Amino acid sequence: MALGDFAPQARAYAARPGYPDELVDLLLDRADVAGGDHVADLGAGTGIFTRELARRELTVHAVEPSEAMRGQAPNMPQVRWYPGTFEDTGLETGSMRWATAAQAFHWADPARALPELHRILAPGACFTCLWNDRRDHDSAMLRAVMDVIRGEAPEFDERYRDHDWTATLLVGGCFEDVVTDEVHHVVAMGRDRFRGLWRSHNHLTETAGPARLPRVLAAIDALTADVSEIAVPYVTRAFTARAVAR
């Protein structure tokens, strides 16, 4: 298992939450796109956000480097998959009306990725990166899980949550006019899905390692042993920037 290598976790990744309709529709308005427009979903994983775009009848070009992750995506006729990266998408210059990255842009090298995103976007088009962040302090179960993780792997962190993404998107002068949106929502999960949520966490898996991860997962199993459903609170934060005129 390596940091950023999701192949061993591709099946478990299906436990990840989706994105609130309210925010997705707002982002489409921000980007000024509609059904039939060509858009790129980068770091698309198993297609969790890709599915939202396809459901809104956009023509989606999903870019995901992991063959295992692409293999877990549902069949969506209006989606074409590419084995590219943020830094080398494989998409044509000026071909996309919007580009998105859901729960993924923290894996990118912004100095190389932002010029590539600018290249594939049509003039004046937007790039949006967004994250589903757990609201740990708002849930007794999440607080208990985090206590377990800190006890077993105190060096674990999710620093991208506190990162200044507005400043990052302006690096290099490819993008401007960053707008931030956020929506709070709650995802009801059965016990198996909640356990899978942690099994799919790449950074936790890599940080805890093979010695400590089984103890973390066993403790989560114990915490949820008598629970049939868990309400997991999230805040989805999105950052939308417009491509600078060429």
Report which DSSP code applies to 17.
Answer: -
| CATH number reported for the structural domain that contains residue 82 in this entry | 3.40.50.150
Regarding predicted confidence, which is higher, 195 or 82?
82
pLDDT in tens, 148-184: 999 999 988 777 788 999 999 999 999 999 999 999 9
106 domain residue, yes or no? yes
Local structure of 223: helix, strand or coil: helix
Mean pLDDT of the region 55-82: 94
CA dihedral 203, 204, 208, 211 (to 10 degrees): -110
- Does the predicted model carry a pTM greater than 0.85? yes
Which domain covers residue 23, as residue numbers? 7-132+159-186+233-243
pLDDT in tens, 188-226: 999 989 988 888 787 888 888 889 999 999 999 999 999
How many domains does the structure of the chain reveal? 1
pLDDT at 6: 55
Pairing of strands 229-243, 175-190: antiparallel
206 domain residue, yes or no? no
pLDDT at 3: 44
208 domain residue, yes or no? no
Average pLDDT of the chain?
Answer: 92
**Alpha carbon distance 121, 114 (integer Å):** 11
Which residue has 């309709």 as its token pair?
21
Report which DSSP code applies to 245.
Answer: P
200 domain residue, yes or no? no
137 domain residue, yes or no? no
**Alpha carbon distance 67, 71 (integer Å):** 6
Q: Which of 230, 28, 48 is nearest to 128 (CA)?
A: 28
Residue 2 has pLDDT above 70, yes or no: no
Per DSSP, the residues of 37-79 read -EEEEET-TTTHHHHHHHHTT-EEEEE-S-HHHHHTSPP-TTE
166 domain residue, yes or no? yes
Pairing of strands 96-102, 59-63: unpaired
25 domain residue, yes or no? yes
93 domain residue, yes or no? yes
Tokens for 50?
Answer: 């890709």
